């Protein structure tokens, strides 16, 4: 598994440094365990809401005795006192969730919005769960998007969010509240096709930065 704790510490430290400058940290790369220390770094900056874009709810207690792995991200976030709430969008795969994990997420109060709900109702199906004026951290797993535009992931799952839905979610979060941080993880270049995933990811990031700048 490598030095999990040793990897988490510098992520949290560097994120705290960015926050101390009054800036909005944007973390790019690695697997879906790195949002755990990223979110932990906000502990001294008031309450936050987490807007997770992902195919999976990531609510496992542990996997192979590892509590801080990529299938446990939102479970660990739910245990952070400064996390006021979680909205999970694009969900459509059981890869990290047995019935017990779904029940645990709902018992916590997580708002689970499936990809199908976004397709039928629009992004407002998710945005309506964010309180007006909330400080929001967006955590984006690339497999939350449909593999037709984001094939470069480890777990391709049809039926994901479109590019437009994704940027509308981010822009909507900035309008409804205030984005105070963002990460993008789980892009797998070796699985990409003709650079399509890299192009999609870069354009999402450019749009996200624009939304963050406009909210200031």
Q: Tens digit of pLDDT for each residue in 123-144?
A: 999 999 999 999 999 999 999 9
Q: How far apart (Å, rounded) are the C-alpha atoms in residues 168 and 171? A: 5
Q: How far apart (Å, rounded) are the C-alpha atoms in residues 36 and 76? A: 7
Domain range summary for the chain, segments of one domain joined by +: 25-215
Residue 1 has pLDDT above 60, yes or no: no
How high is the pLDDT of residue 5?
A: 85
- Structure tokens belonging to residue 140: 């984006």
How high is the pLDDT of residue 203?
A: 99
How high is the pLDDT of residue 80?
A: 99
Q: What is the mean pLDDT of residues 19-40?
A: 98
pLDDT band at 3 (very low <50, low <70, confident <90, very high): confident
25-215 architecture in CATH? 3-Layer(aba) Sandwich (3.40)
Residue 189 has pLDDT above 70, yes or no: yes
How high is the pLDDT of residue 4?
A: 82
Q: What is the mean pLDDT of residues 29-50?
A: 98
pLDDT band at 95 (very low <50, low <70, confident <90, very high): low
Q: What is the mean pLDDT of residues 176-189?
A: 98
How high is the pLDDT of residue 94?
A: 66
How high is the pLDDT of residue 98?
A: 87
Q: How far apart (Å, rounded) are the C-alpha atoms in residues 90 and 74? A: 14
- Structure tokens belonging to residue 188: 């797998």
Residue 96 has pLDDT above 90, yes or no: no
Residue 192 has pLDDT above 80, yes or no: yes
Whether the CA torsion 9, 1, 56, 60 is positive or negative: it is: negative
Give the closest residue to 164 by CA, choosing from 127, 119, 125, 196: 119
Report the share of the chain in percent with pLDDT over 90.
94
How high is the pLDDT of residue 2?
A: 64
How high is the pLDDT of residue 143?
A: 98
Query: In terms of pLDDT, which residue wins out, 125 or 64?
Result: 125
pLDDT band at 97 (very low <50, low <70, confident <90, very high): confident
């Amino acid at each position: 598994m490598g030095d999990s704790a040793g990897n988490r510490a510098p992520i949290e430290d560097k994120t705290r440094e960015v926050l101390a400058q009054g800036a909005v940290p944007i973390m790019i790369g690695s697997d879906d365990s790195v949002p755990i220390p990223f979110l932990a770094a906000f502990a001294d900056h008031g309450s936050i809401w987490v807007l997770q874009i992902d195919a999976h709810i990531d609510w496992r207690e542990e996997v192979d005795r590892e509590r801080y792995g990529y299938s446990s991200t939102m479970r660990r976030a739910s245990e952070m006192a400064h996390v006021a709430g979680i909205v999970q969008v694009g969900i459509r795969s059981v890869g990290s969730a047995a019935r017990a994990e779904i029940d645990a997420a709902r018992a916590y109060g997580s708002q689970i919005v499936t990809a199908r709900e976004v397709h039928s109702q629009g992004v407002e199906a998710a945005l309506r769960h964010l309180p007006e004026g909330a400080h929001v951290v967006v955590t984006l797993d690339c497999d939350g998007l449909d593999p037709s535009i984001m094939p470069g992931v480890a777990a391709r799952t049809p039926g994901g969010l479109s590019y437009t839905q994704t940027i509308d979610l981010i822009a909507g979060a900035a309008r409804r509240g205030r984005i105070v941080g963002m990460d993008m993880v789980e892009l797998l270049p070796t699985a990409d096709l003709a650079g399509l995933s890299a192009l999609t990811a870069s354009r999402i990031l450019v749009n996200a930065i624009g939304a963050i700048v406009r909210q200031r």
